Amino acid sequence: MRIARFSIDGNVAFGAIEGEKQDELVLDIIKGIPFADFELSGTKVPVGKVRLLPPVLPNKVVAFGRNYAEHAKELGNEVPQAPFAFFKPSTSVIGPGDEIQYPSFSEEVHHEAELAVVIGRMCREVPRERVKDVIFGYTCANDITARDVQKREKQWARAKGFDTSCPLGPWVETDLDPGDLTIQLTVNGQQRQLGRTSEMVHSIEDLIVNISEAMTLLPGDVILTGTPAGVGPLNVGDEVAVTIEGIGTLTNKVVKRG
């Protein structure tokens, strides 16, 4: 099932997406929130009539770096022996169609296409065999990075956590095997990144076991699983699109921060 969060006439709701062709998609509005047992209302609205929002509003975004060997190599880094985590704040999250604001303190902003895992229930110290039980679904993410700032500052808070640096969407796919999906990214229609989730150094199970040893995960929290090789610069005016097999396409435009 594809679950979207959207606004219409000033109201925000969740809905289950029906249909396959983009111009024929409709939303069946969900009664309540999708992180517990829910019912479909039967009230349907065309996707084209609503504004899609970030599919979740996470309490925290936990991102894992250098989880694809070729990406680590292209930036001159070693592959970490254990999962390597950092955070992006909730204020970095934007949705499909929202603008990525080029930060005034950087002159080298890069794209990073990633598979995002959405947590579905409160959990801590999750055993490997229970990881699937705590996952709500999967969505597309773009870990926008101020690369020059990342290089000169030991902590990545500013480089990775600035406003609009975490596009998510367009919706959450709840019925998906994430083991071997194609991830690709284009800038202005030109392919920049192409990889497969099977190339991850540390699996989704590894990542969730690792971070839940340290902290409680809440419904709607997001885990970013790393990016394939091919990262590169974004400029004001660029349109960047992340497409993940079985999920869909997340598109955003880069604008000058003003």
What are 100-125's pLDDT values in tens digits? 999 999 999 999 999 999 999 999 99
Instruction: Report yes or no: 200 and 150 within 8 Å, Cβ to Cβ.
Output: no
Q: What number is the average pLDDT over the span 141-158? A: 97
Percent of the chain with pLDDT over 90: 91
Q: What is the pLDDT of residue 94?
A: 98
For 30: left if phi > 0, alpha if psi spans -120 to 50, otherwise beta; the answer is beta
Question: Do β-strands 113-119 and 222-224 pair in parallel, antiparallel, or remain unpaired?
Answer: antiparallel
On the question of pLDDT at 23 being above 90, the answer is no
Q: How many Å apart are CA 131 and CA 206, to the nearest integer? A: 9
Domains and CATH numbers, the chain: 2-52 (2.30.30.370), 61-256 (3.90.850.10)
For the chain, the average pLDDT equals: 96
pTM to 2 decimal places: 0.97
Confidence of residue 183 (pLDDT cuts 50, 70, 90): very high
Q: How many Å apart are CA 91 and CA 101, to the nearest integer? A: 13
pLDDT in tens, 212-256: 999 999 999 999 999 999 999 999 999 999 999 999 999 999 999
Give the residues across from 139 on adjacent strands: 116
Of 8-22, 48-62, 203-217, where does mean pLDDT reach its minimum? 8-22
On the question of pLDDT at 86 being above 90, the answer is yes
DSSP the chain: -EEEEEEETTEEEEEEEE-SSGGG-EEEEEES-TTSS-EEEEEEEEGGGSEE--S---S-EEEE-S-BHHHHHHTT-PPPSS--EEEE-GGGEE-TTPEEEEPTT-S-EEE-EEEEEEE-S-BSS--GGGHHHHEEEEEEEE--EEHHHHHH-SS-HHHHHSTT-EEEEEEEESS--GGG-EEEEEETTEEEEEEEGGGBSS-HHHHHHHHHTTS-B-TT-EEE----S--EEE-TT-EEEEEETTTEEEEEEEEE--
pLDDT in tens, 38-52: 999 999 999 999 999
DSSP 189-244: TEEEEEEEGGGBSS-HHHHHHHHHTTS-B-TT-EEE----S--EEE-TT-EEEEEE
On the question of pLDDT at 21 being above 90, the answer is no
